[in-house]
Structure 1
Amino acid sequence: MQPHHCSNRSGSPVPFLRLALVLLISLASPASSCTEQERSSLLQLLAGLSRDGGLKASWRNGTDCCTWEGITCSGPSRTVTDVSLASRGLEGSISPFLGNLTGLLRLNLSRNSLSGGLPLELVSSSSIIVLDVSFNRLTGGLSELPSSTPARPLQVLNISSNLFTGRFPTSTWEVMKSLVVLNASTNGFTGQIPTTPCASAPSLAVLELSFNELSGNIPPGLSNCSMLKLLRAGYNNLSGTLPDELFKVTSLEHLSLPSNWLEGSLSGIGKLTNLVTLDLGGNELSGNIPESIGELKRLEELHLEHNSMSGELPSTLSNCTHLVTIDLKSNQFSGELTKVNFTSLPNLQNLDLLYNNFTGTIPESIYSCSRLTALRLSENNFHGQLSEKIGNLKFLSFLSLVGNSLTNLTRTLQILRSTRSLTTLLIGFNFMNETMPEDDSIDGFENLQVLSISDCSLSGKIPDCLSKLPNLEMLLLHNNQLTGPIPDWISSLNFLFYLDLSNNSLTGEISSSLMDMPMLKSNKTAPKVFELPVYDRSPFMQYLMPSAFPKVLNLGTNNFTGLIPEKIGELKALSSLNLSSNQLSGEIPETIGNLTNLQLLDLSGNHLTGAIPGALNNLHFLSKFNISSNDLEGPIPTVGQLSTFPNSSYDGNPKLCGPMLVNQCGSAETPLITQKRRKKKGVFALAFGVFFGGVAILFLLARLFVMFRGTSFMTKKEEQQQR
């Protein structure tokens, strides 16, 4: 016979087990919940919110606030230690009553839409060690704490990405003896970089002040920040030279001061031997890169772009074997690159030397950087042919060689087809007066998204090998001497949304295949990102991804004939349509009025006839419009979008009339013809009067003539108003 262990047959527990269960529960449960003061302080925060992100469902009076959403309690007394309400869609103000949470260690209200000021009670809290209110809409300044305030425990203060203004307080930092991180970036703070935290907080490691309105010199007092690892103050109005005291902060690992007005040289930079990141781009630095750069053995990021630096690159740059990025674009560096042994830089991924004066051939040691993903050598004075060794760069995604003196386009493309990771290839302003390759065997560019072979004066036809680029999004072949028609396979490029064939000698009618390009009909674009920013005609206009470019069809300045296809109205995603300076005839299709995304429409310099379609007034985003130098006729719309453009948009159409033109719409005749006819009428009236020999008759006829002309003018004016 088996004994009963756990329960009787009725299902009710035995008394002993019931008692044991009660004891276990009582041991596992806290002896107390949060205090009434804590509950009340939290409810004060809730009361100040106009949008609470659903907190009311959890934060109910009379319940244990330790169970509320976003609240953490710790210790045997169940004290509130954490309030974590980041990214909750909160709107309203921050309650100062949160300062009554005497055990609160961490307060995170970041990434909401909170407004108003930052309560002094939180900054001066005797318990909070981490205070994060970043990414809100907080305003005002930071209040001063009384000098008699005892030391505060705050270690991390993140007030970045708000709307704070004014100068940094001084006495506040004097009591922050434990401060490790101060992030006040992306606000409107003015004045100088504060140095008080350096003297008061010996453990200060992070000082982040970027994107403010700070001015003045970099203060020498930063040398007191003996433990500082990160100093960022970019995108301010700082000026002067880099002080010698700054180079004494040898603990620095990240020095970032881009887009200021700093000047002078980098002579002392070699002392910061722990630097991992050096970003001084967008300043007014001069001189060369010192040989001492080789002392920065830990350096991974070197950004000196957009300065006025010059000279050759030092050979010691090869000692920075951990370099991942070298960005020296828009300077005046010169000489050959052979001094730098790129073989010693195995970690290099991005090399950008755009807009300098480097000469010679492209050193083959660059092709030993097997991890290179982006290489830009554009707008220099390199010459010769591309080396086959570039095929070693198996991860190369971005290659820009624009504006050098490279030769042999066909061979270049044959070499590059082995770099199968290429997505962006910009090689225009090279290969001058060569012939576009006709070899269909040029393939291997399956991943190519952007191809530019513009400004080369290339002869030949649009090569059929381009039809093998299934992922092509942007094709730029403008400013060449290409002939022949646009091939029908163009519509098979399902992702192509930017096509510039302008300034060539292409012939035939506008291909109907262009009307079937899927991406010009759809607003969809793939969210892909360039490895390096791409500049459009100016170093000041940069694009970070292909989809940031407008959808463009530019066939201007060619020899296209025939009509503008009616189906062009199906390309509803177009932002820019340029068919100017061709031999097109017929009328402007009404269907162009369907292209409601158009910002540019240029049909000038053709043989277009007929009236201006009223449907063009549907193009509400149109900012550039040109139909000059055609054979158009009739009135120019006096209302709507088309009435906002200057006379030059309509010049060279003798039969057009409108208030902005010499030819008014009161008469279909040109001013010159009208003037000649008036002279004839005057001669006829005089002859008629002399024939009858009577002054009275002449006077009467003259009155009748004037009355007749006045009646005619009024009638036409009324007709014009009716139109």
Structure 2
Amino acid sequence: MKHSKKEKSPMASLRLAFVLLISLVSPTSSCTQQEKICLLRFLAGLSQDGGLAASWRDGEDCCEWEGVTCGTDRAVAGVSLASKSLEGNISESLGSLDGLKLLDLSHNSLSGCLPRGLVSSPSIVVLDVSFNRLSGALHELPSSTPPRPLQVLNISSNSFTGMFPSTIWESMENLIALNGSNNSFTGQIPTHFCNGSPSFAVLDLSYNKLRGSIPRGLGDCSVLRVLNAGYNNLSGTLPDELFRATSLEHLSFRNNELHGVLDGAHIINLGNLVTLNLGRNNFSGKLPDSIGQLKRMEELYFDRNNMSGDLPSALSNCTNLITVDFKSNKFSGELNKVDFSNFPNLTTLDLLYNNFTGTIPESIYSCSKLIALRLSANNLHGQLSPKIGDLKHLAFLSLAFNSFVNITNALHILQNCRQLTILLIGDNFMAELMPEDDIIDGFQNLQVLGRSASTDC
């Protein structure tokens, strides 16, 4: 079953730029006969054409055909047929369109292989066949293949298999972005990207079957901004060389078999990070103090690892945080070491299944945009503060499996959280009686109230 995921914004932005560039070019009065033949061969290979036949077979000028854009040189410059309900195979003939710069066949039901001639095209700059039913391995290119102009390759959300042929990347000197996510690629992460493509900025190979260690060569990608290899079978540690990729903004190795300790001396090199996702691995040790130097950080995921120790007070310096997910670790100590009032944009804080002690820090109640707060399965105690009512957007609150007291007071206070829809408080308030139903009725939008110890936290 394929995973539906949003396309990374850098990939989308690059493709949009080329679409706008081509759309600003005035169509010519006529295309060449050879181009018409290439396009009609593509049409003939479709078992479902989404209504293209009416436009393509009746019109003499293919520059006026649906989805086709021509340039002033009388060449077909763009074929944009995304979300047209197309079925069938992609014809190799499209690779014979000498002036074709943009080919977008995404979000259809096309099947078969990806023709070699499209990847090795001497003209295509943006190739997007994502969200189809394409399969098989990517073709090797002859070693004599000259450098290709391809800058953006999106083959995500298909059923491609096999390893990435090294000959493809050796000829892609202009490659900026590759999205091969949500397929069944095997083998190791290719190491050739940055050696041959100095402008390489986006690599997404998540949701595949890749194995082995993280290539040290990725550290040579001086302008790499997005690196996502989550949901694979990668093993080993984060290589020291990776931290030389100082332009990284989004780094994710979620759901692999990685281990080791996060090196504080290295992490400070990634000062441009906005997203760091190392959840669902086997990392251990403490969260380094130097994490506080990642001041652009918005999303921080270390959930389901074996990390331990106190949260460093330096985390308070990450003032742009929106999501913090540290659940299912062995973190301990008191939460008041972190000044949560420094996180005005925080919407999600998940600390489930750790060993935190003490009371809920008052500074958490300053996070006015907080939507989800999960502190369950720790060693917290005390009463809820009336200030929790300041969390006007709070929709999910889980405090289960702690040692909080005064349930009547807690429920009175929580009624001020008008958006609260899920409240889990099981295995707290020992030997206390549940208050009258009229207090429960005071919650305007509450849909789930978990009061028993068996309630999922």
Which whole-Å CA distance do the structure 2 matches of 1:275 and 1:437 have between them?
47
Which whole-Å CA distance do the structure 2 matches of 1:355 and 1:78 have between them?
64
1:146 CA drift (Å)? 1.5
Question: Are positions 1:99 and 2:95 aligned together?
Answer: yes
Question: Are positions 1:425 and 2:423 aligned together?
Answer: yes
- Aligned partner of 2:316 in structure 1 is 318
- Aligned partner of 2:13 in structure 1 is none
2:198 alignment partner, SS class: coil
**Matched letter for residue 51 of structure 2:** G
1:78 CA drift (Å)? 3.1
Question: Are positions 1:132 and 2:128 aligned together?
Answer: yes
1:226 CA drift (Å)? 0.7
1:421 CA drift (Å)? 1.4
Aligned residues: 430
- Aligned partner of 2:78 in structure 1 is 82
TM-score, with structure 2 as normaliser = 0.92
Which whole-Å CA distance do the structure 2 matches of 1:146 and 1:130 have between them?
21
- From 184, 206, 217, the equivalent of 2:213 is 217
CA contact (8 A) 1:116 1:140 kept: yes
Quick check: 426-435 or 177-186, which moved more?
426-435
2:433 alignment partner, SS class: coil
- From 234, 252, 259, the equivalent of 1:263 is 259
TM-score, with structure 1 as normaliser = 0.58
Which whole-Å CA distance do the structure 2 matches of 1:199 and 1:396 have between them?
48
Which whole-Å CA distance do the structure 1 matches of 2:36 and 2:298 have between them?
49
CA contact (8 A) 2:376 2:400 kept: yes
Q: Deviations over 1:516-566 (max 9, x none)?
A: xxxxxxxxxxxxxxxxxxxx75x8xxxxxxxxxxxxxxxxxxxxxxxxxxx
Quick check: 138-147 or 301-310, which moved more?
138-147
Which whole-Å CA distance do the structure 2 matches of 1:255 and 1:46 have between them?
40
Which whole-Å CA distance do the structure 2 matches of 1:201 and 1:153 have between them?
11
Matches within 5 A, 1:9-88: 32-60=29-57, 63-75=60-72, 77-88=73-84
Aligned-pair identity (%) = 67
Which whole-Å CA distance do the structure 1 matches of 2:241 and 2:112 have between them?
38
Which whole-Å CA distance do the structure 1 matches of 2:193 and 2:440 have between them?
62
CA contact (8 A) 2:59 2:65 kept: no
- From 343, 351, 369, the equivalent of 2:367 is 369
- From 401, 411, 417, the equivalent of 1:403 is 401
**Matched letter for residue 322 of structure 1:** N
1:433 CA drift (Å)? 2.2
Which whole-Å CA distance do the structure 2 matches of 1:443 and 1:269 have between them?
49
Which whole-Å CA distance do the structure 1 matches of 2:64 and 2:330 have between them?
63
1:443 CA drift (Å)? 5.0
Sort the Cα spacing of 1:287 and 1:31 in 2 relative to 1 into closer, same or farther, 3 A: closer
1:309 alignment partner, SS class: strand
RMSD: 1.5
Question: Are positions 1:344 and 2:352 aligned together?
Answer: no
1:296 CA drift (Å)? 0.2
- Aligned partner of 2:290 in structure 1 is 292
2:285 alignment partner, SS class: coil
1:30 CA drift (Å)? 7.2
CA contact (8 A) 2:28 2:70 kept: no
CA contact (8 A) 1:65 1:71 kept: yes
Q: Which has the higher contact order (CA 8 A, sep 6+)?
A: 2
Question: Are positions 1:118 and 2:111 aligned together?
Answer: no
Matches within 5 A, 1:575-590: none
1:172 CA drift (Å)? 1.1
Which whole-Å CA distance do the structure 2 matches of 1:190 and 1:439 have between them?
57
- Aligned partner of 1:328 in structure 2 is 326
* Structure of larger gyration radius: 1
Question: Are positions 1:153 and 2:149 aligned together?
Answer: yes
Sort the Cα spacing of 1:309 and 1:168 in 2 relative to 1 into closer, same or farther, 3 A: same
Which whole-Å CA distance do the structure 1 matches of 2:367 and 2:83 have between them?
42
**Matched letter for residue 393 of structure 2:** F
- Aligned partner of 2:162 in structure 1 is 166
**Matched letter for residue 445 of structure 1:** F
1:434 alignment partner, SS class: coil
Which whole-Å CA distance do the structure 1 matches of 2:416 and 2:90 have between them?
59
- From 223, 228, 231, the equivalent of 1:227 is 223
- Aligned partner of 2:248 in structure 1 is 252
Matches within 5 A, 1:199-214: 199-214=195-210
Which whole-Å CA distance do the structure 2 matches of 1:254 and 1:438 have between them?
49
